[in-house]
Chain A
Amino acid sequence: MPGKSFLIDTSLCTACRGCQVACKQWNSLPAEKTMNRGTYQNPADLSFKTYKLVRFNEVVVDGKLKWLFFPDQCRHCMEPPCEMTADDPRAIFRDSATGAVLYTTNTKQADREAIVDSCPYNIPRVSKKRTLTKCNMCIGRVKNGQLPACVKTCPTGAMNFGDREEMLKLAKRRLSKVKKTHRNARLLNPDDVRVIYLVTEDPKFYHKFAVASNSAFDITRTVALKRLVRPLTNLTARV
């Protein structure tokens, strides 16, 4: 399934946060009560009310100050660990046309803790109703031929969306261009995710979970393996 993908080119992001607001608007998510904590980043983290969050970090690289912006959201993995962990298509499934990883209210019955733990990007959040929530690729918009709200609102071209092949091509083209001025530029897990980030510095400067650790997708394999050796009773109970 080729499906859809995003390219988030942080070299073009000005942290206007139009995407963060557009996400709340389209998904009818309420504002959180916040305080200024000595940073522009607000809310502090993703939550069941916040699916998209621009992270702000000030770092000095080679004696030069950088203010790095990272519009964080679900990566819509090609082989989603959360889906495998839930192991219940009524709770977590992939849309066949787009590849969007979608959560339903049945996540209430799933092993939420294990699912949250399984995500290498620390994305899923538990809602007040004990369901799991996160970015849904604006699936309703995409199914009707529209761009996800965050992409639609982006003024600079940092947020891109389209067929996976096209986005991969764009990602490569952009990377070779950006590399000329930013030698540390790279794509984050482009083969494993549908939301591909182009960053200009070491990903650890952007966010602890910007990139999946090497072992992250091994965990996926572990989970798969576990499923293979799972006691039969469990399986029969499901059937």
Chain B
Amino acid sequence: MTNHWIDIGNSDCILVMGSNAAENHPISFKYVVKAMENGAKLISVDPRFTRTSSKADIYAPLRSGTDIAFLGGMIKYILDKNLYNKDYVRAYTNAPFIVGKAYSFKDGLFSGYNRRARKYNKSKWAFEMDEKGVPKMDRSLKDPMCVFQQLKEHYSRYNTKLVSEITGTSEADLLKIYKTYSATGKKGKAATIMYAMGWTQHTVGTQNIRTMAMIQLLLGNIGMAGGGVNALRGESNVQGSTDHCLLWHIWPGYLKTPRASNVSLAAYNKKWTPKSKDPISANWWQNYPKYSVSMLKSFFGKLATRRNNFGYDWLPKVDDGKAYSWLDLFDEMYKGTIGGFFAWGMNPACSGANAGKNRMAMANLDWMVNVNIFDNETGSFWRGPGMSPSTVKTEVFMLPACVSVEKEGSITNSGRWMQWRYEGPRPRGKSKSDGDIIMKLGLKLKGLYKKEGGVFPKPIVNLKWDYTTKGKYDPHKVAKEINGYFLKNVTVKGKLCKKGTLVPSFAWLQADGSTSSGNWLYCNSYTEKGNMAARRGQTDAVNKIGLYPNFSWCWPVNRRIIYNRASVDLKGNPLDRKHWVIKWNGKKWIGDVPDGGWPPLGSLENPNPKSKWAFIMRKHGHAQIFGPGRADGPFPEHYEPLECPIEKNLMNKQRMNPVAPIYKTDADAYKTCDPRYPFVGTTYRVVEHWQTGLMTRPQSWLLEMQPQVFVEMSEELARLKRIKNGERVLVTSARGALKCTAIVTKRFKPFKIGGNIVHQVGLPWCFGWRWPKNGREESANLLTPATGDPNTRIPETKAFMCNVSKLRRRRR
């Protein structure tokens, strides 16, 4: 979230699209209700009428996988009707930048496409630079090659008639939503978006979100209270685990995982440190080496020295151009190239796309360690449906973990709030906290490598691993390490910082090895003043917009609404006087922690040389309406899902995202326009169950409410297939099948797509054979395809093709 949960209550218009907040983030509705009580409009866009839709002022259905068409239509509407916030767009976005002549877009392809490699050469999308090396700009937005004019041209094709034919949403509904939402382009109004996996889990996932970010920029809604782009995380600590490098392609704090071609620390820092020639651009990432070196000092302590590249050579490098995501790992596992596997707090036998492939893949392992609070479909995969235990060679170890309330530590919620939790009841039986398990494992590995050597023992042997107190894992020691220490007496900004004290914030971090910080973004969270995340102050900030700055702690540097320099005009006066975020009082900023303390810009033509452009994390200081860094193009474009119900993309000549990954094992099958799989399928969660249901299916009160996997379908489709409400049916895709209970409902309606009727069905993915005991309820991910977004490789589980049919009567 750019903003945070409480801030939803400040909004004037809430779009819930690509998520179902009432069911999957039920507490968020406390703030949705608050906003609505103050007159905010709630819009729900979803293929299916949900519990969120039931509370919305406006509901509109759309076919799964067509969000870019829907939102692209809104961009056109905003531009055609001049509803964008001109001052904001001119000053804070890259709309005035001049795009280079090599950029073009034709027949669904951007320039630079390599058909064989299914990849773009992104250098074709570069901006034109002036003689000083600063992007050329036309703040009047009139130059035909400026981003603004290119944007206009790109979305000129997205008229409501065509958008309606693609999405299945009626033109009247489209216009009603466009009008309501874009009304917040007015000064003093803000709209927000609540999205989740309904947007990310597509072959165009990243671009779904970019399209929305562009709308928010056009309307001047980023940096504002009640605005922003807000990802509702699917689990209480997804934000924290991502910040601390859960994903393969990032190091803690969104530093890059080094590529094989980054042959030395110097080469690595050079490659990933952006350089700007613009003196008004803060270009915050110019500090990259301070963060990477401080992280290495945290990893290897005293053993990390300037002479050994601070231990850079000990960390693994990934091959250039190769992906190591979840989808790729299971693909490799399926091919038999992976020997061992830790499934830690995960249940890939149910949660992963094409779960049947994952289950077979696990049979190719030598060993698997399942760390979880209960046994699950993953730990027991070898005795699951269709498995023959005697032929599975994988040795499975179960390590019982204690549950969240039984351990001390922090979680970071969707709003970036790092919240410290104390240990409630003691862990039961022999279960241990994750921290204890990994500490012990690390110590054991270090001992073995020390004793036995091995191919490359240094990374493990040299690892600083001193986070225990009296033999037990100490979360405070880890939290302090993440914050970072001064490792020698240094004078920074005229202030003596003593060796061994905690670094007050990332502005103090150094690239010379004199500081450590496990994650620069969290530097400021545990300082000499104490554990900031454990604070429980109940007073609000001076602007009274629910920031509660002394309650817990939020990254970066306790800034509750990021990009807040864009919430003011050039003089530093808030654009929204009622819900103001920051304000220049002549000497300093008051309100939220500002995105840097520099004074206001003053003017665009002659900016105050002491000031900085608003978007300090971007190299050129401006938010990117034109995003030349994405794998699939600088402007989002509508492509059909990999599996879709129509032969031709009605928007352009490319049916699917031309750079989406495709896997080719015999367990991967993709079918489009195949009469055997005529219906669009999607998956979702329900409020009664949690993720794959591992924690909720054994809970009898929750299972009582949602006892069985179901498939929801329209009354029209049920009539067509002669399916009765409540009967068990078979749902099949090119990859798998499962039996479900049919819920025949008015909440699904057939779509009219390009003149044809298209039916859609939906299933929750929170079931699995391991529980309930009878083993009859299975995971909807047996159906979903292993393909995904080319930028993130999040799988496309939200749009695929399937069939629903009556079960054949068993003969007596």
Residues of B within 8 A of A66 (CB): 54
Q: In whole angstroms, what is the CA distance A60 to B59 when docked?
A: 14
Q: Which of B133-141, B525-533, B704-712 contacts A (4 or more CB under 8 A)?
A: B704-712
Asked whether A67 lies within 8 Å of B54 as measured between CB atoms, the reply is yes
Q: How far is the CA of A41 from the CA of B17 in the complex (A)?
A: 25
When distances are taken between beta carbons in the complex, the residues of chain A under 8 Å from B747 are 58, 65, 67
Query: Of A42, A177, A181, which is in contact with the most chain B CB atoms at under 10 Å from its CB?
Result: A42
Decide if A17 touches B687 in the complex (CB within 8 Å).
yes
CB closest chain-A residue, reference B707:
A34
A14-B55 contact in complex given A25-B701, A37-B726, A155-B27, C-beta closer than 8 Å: yes
A42→B706 contact, CB < 8 A: yes
Once bound together, how far apart are the Cα atoms of A23 and B147, in whole Å?
57
Give a binary string over A36-50; 1 marks a CB under 8 Å from any B CB, 0 the rest: 111110110000000
Q: Which of B51, B706, B707 contacts A14 (CB 8 A)?
A: B51
Is A24 interfacial (CB-CB < 8 Å)?
yes
A67 and B701 contact, CB distance less than 8 A? no
Point out the residues of chain A lying under 8 angstroms from B725, CB to CB: 38-39
Question: How far apart sit A14 and B51, CA to CA, in the bound complex (Å)?
Answer: 6
In this assembly, does B667 line the interface, its C-beta being within 8 Å of a C-beta of chain A? no
Bound form: Cα–Cα A197–B279 in Å: 63
Task: Give 1 or 0 for each of A13-56: 1 = CB within 8 Å of chain B CB.
Answer: 01111101100110000111111111110110000000000000
A58 to chain B: closest residue by CB:
B746
CB–CB B687/A16 < 8 A: yes
| Cβ B29 vs Cβ A156 within 8 A | yes
What sequence of 0s and 1s flags, for each residue 155-190 of chain A, a beta carbon within 8 Å of any chain B beta carbon?
111000000000000000000010001000000000
Chain B contacts of A42 at CB under 8 A?
A: 704-707
- B26 and A43: CB pair below 8 A? no
Question: Could you say which of B498-506, B597-605, B737-745 contacts chain A?
Answer: B737-745
Smallest CB separation, B465 vs chain A (Å): 42
Question: Does B576 sit within 8 A of A, measured CB to CB?
Answer: no
* Assembly CA distance A126 to B703 (angstroms): 24
Q: Do A60 and B703 touch across chains, with their CB atoms under 8 A apart?
A: no
B674 / chain A contacts, CB cutoff of 8 Å? none
Does B742 contact A14, Cβ atoms closer than 8 Å?
Answer: no
B700 within 8 A of A: yes
Interface assignment of A69: CB less than 8 Å from any CB of chain B? yes
How far apart sit A58 and B135, CA to CA, in the bound complex (Å)? 56
Shortest distance between the CB of A232 and any CB in chain B (Å)? 49
User: Given A14-B54, A16-B687, are A24 and B49 neighbors across the interface (CB < 8 Å)?
Assistant: no
* A83-99, CB < 8 A from B: none
Return the CB mask of A110-122 against B: 1 if under 8 Å, else 0. Answer: 0000000000000
Taking CB atoms, residues of chain B closer than 8 Å to A12 are 33, 55
**How many Å from the CB of A52 to the closest CB on chain B?**
12
Expressed in whole angstroms, the minimum distance between the Cβ of B318 and any Cβ of chain A is: 42
- Chain B residues, CB < 8 A from A43: 704
Chain B 27-62 interface 0/1 with A at a Cβ cutoff of 8 Å (1 = within): 101100100010000000000010111110101000
Taking A14-B26, A35-B708, A58-B745 as known contacts, 16 extra A-B pairs with beta carbons closer than 8 A to each other, sorted by chain A number, are A14-B55, A16-B23, A17-B705, A18-B26, A25-B701, A31-B701, A31-B703, A33-B704, A38-B726, A40-B706, A42-B707, A67-B54, A67-B747, A69-B54, A157-B30, A181-B57
26 A-B residue pairs with Cβ-Cβ distance under 8 Å, sorted by A, are A12-B33, A16-B23, A16-B26, A16-B51, A20-B705, A21-B701, A31-B700, A36-B707, A36-B708, A36-B710, A36-B726, A36-B741, A36-B743, A38-B727, A38-B743, A40-B706, A40-B743, A42-B706, A42-B707, A43-B704, A65-B49, A65-B746, A69-B51, A155-B27, A155-B30, A157-B33
Residue ranges of A at the interface with B (Cβ–Cβ < 8 Å): 12, 14-18, 20-21, 24-25, 30-40, 42-43, 58, 60, 65-69, 155-157, 177, 181
